[in-house]
Amino acid sequence: MSKPKVFITRRWTESVEAKLRDLYDVTLNETDRPLSAEEFKSALQNYDAVCPTVCDSFPADVLNAPNKRCKILANFGVGYNHIDIDAAKANNLIVTNTPNVLTQSTADIAMTLLLMTARRGAEGDRLVRAKKWQGWCPTSMLSSNVTGATLGLIGFGRIGQAMARKAHHGFDMNIIYFSPREADEYVTQDLKARRCDMLEELLSQSDFVSLHCPAGASTKHLINAKTLKFMKPTAHLINTARGDVVNSQALIDALKTKQIAGAGLDVYENEPNLHEGFLELENVQLLPHLGSATLETRTAMGEKVLANLAAYFTDLPLPDRVV
């Protein structure tokens, strides 16, 4: 009996790729280059399963390709806003994802960005590398305290709560959050966290605002010219959620005019083609989507995909089905 044909759009960790080779008739993207829409269409037509990542775009035009052999998109990543879910449903395509394994690594990056923007880390690194540092001075590169400051979290799911624990127990930060639902009582007590009824309330009271909300129509450009005006001029914005939650031009304007003090970004609208206005600013810390980028986490994500594929090809319930 022939093995199912599986197409992998980008390189994965070695251990997971070895398992894929053993289990399936697998085609890997050996050059690890971004693929085109035509290549995605061809994959859908010639493979039993296609495994995209969050950097691969699967709009309706791709998913509507004729004569599809593929019946499952086993996504490598938690987010799936790069896949047109309505089109997937219309084409009877199953979509799965990889939740519950990148919580701590993403929260770590959020805290990294918070500390970088608060203490002007990347700016200081550039100063030293450019050989422009003149030595210690009482007023040189003054920055913001983290310990004891107020952290406002927009979205209070697993990653938001993990960041809150690091911030509260590690830096004695005060925790407030904006979320559709109250957190469990034990979480609230452990973190001394308070829920804000309105987004504007959270923005106006926070020294640091960290985004942990899902992508979607209701959250696109949630942070915009209007909402940024509620933030303190000493406040910092952190985004490790999704790029389109923030209106890039509005944030650039707010940083340019010192309407807010700084920002730390790991995700961007239209990434990797971020708005070039960010590159001109000193008061923004920019990382290349490193949230889940540890060997352990990326391997665990791959194992999640393997579990979804194994369930699909043996007609068992899919552990992480989205559609």
Same domain, 31 and 83: yes
- Among positive and negative, which fits the CA dihedral 258, 224, 102, 195? positive
- Dig out the tokens for 111 from the structure: 């805290």
Give the model's pLDDT for residue 71: 98
Give the model's pLDDT for residue 215: 82
Q: Which residues of 266-277 are buried (b: 16+ CB within 10 A; e: fewer)?
A: bbbbebeebeee
Give the model's pLDDT for residue 1: 77
Residue 33 lies in a domain: yes
Same domain, 180 and 44: no
Give the model's pLDDT for residue 173: 99
Give the model's pLDDT for residue 291: 97
Residue 209 lies in a domain: yes
Residue 318 lies in a domain: no
Same domain, 209 and 275: yes
Question: Do residues 50 and 44 make contact, with C-beta atoms less than 8 angstroms apart?
Answer: yes
- DSSP line for 141-183: T-----TT-EEEEE--SHHHHHHHHHHHHHH--EEEEE-SSPP
Q: Based on the residue annotation, tell me whether 298 is a catalytic residue of this protein.
A: no
Same domain, 22 and 132: no
**d(C-alpha 196, C-alpha 212), whole Å:** 15
The active-site residue out of 119, 242, 269, 298 is 242
Give the model's pLDDT for residue 216: 84
The closest of 102, 52, 3, 2 to 310, measured between CA atoms, is 3
Residue 322 lies in a domain: no
**d(C-alpha 25, C-alpha 4), whole Å:** 6
Same domain, 97 and 246: no
CATH at 256: 3.40.50.720
Q: Based on the residue annotation, tell me whether 276 is a catalytic residue of this protein.
A: no
Same domain, 268 and 281: yes
Same domain, 144 and 243: yes
Residue 176 lies in a domain: yes
The closest of 281, 283, 226 to 260, measured between CA atoms, is 283
Q: Based on the residue annotation, tell me whether 126 is a catalytic residue of this protein.
A: no
Residues in the chain with pLDDT values less than 50: none
Same domain, 171 and 94: no
Give the model's pLDDT for residue 49: 98
Same domain, 63 and 81: yes
**d(C-alpha 294, C-alpha 292), whole Å:** 6
Residue 319 lies in a domain: no
Give the model's pLDDT for residue 308: 98
Same domain, 113 and 255: yes
The active-site residue out of 17, 39, 271, 303 is 271
Residue with tokens 């008739």: 25
Q: Domain residues for 27?
A: 5-101+295-313
Give the model's pLDDT for residue 64: 98
Domain count, the chain: 2
The active-site residue out of 158, 165, 168, 289 is 289
Same domain, 173 and 41: no
Look up the pTM and report it.
0.95
Same domain, 62 and 17: yes
Residue 245 lies in a domain: yes
Residue 302 lies in a domain: yes
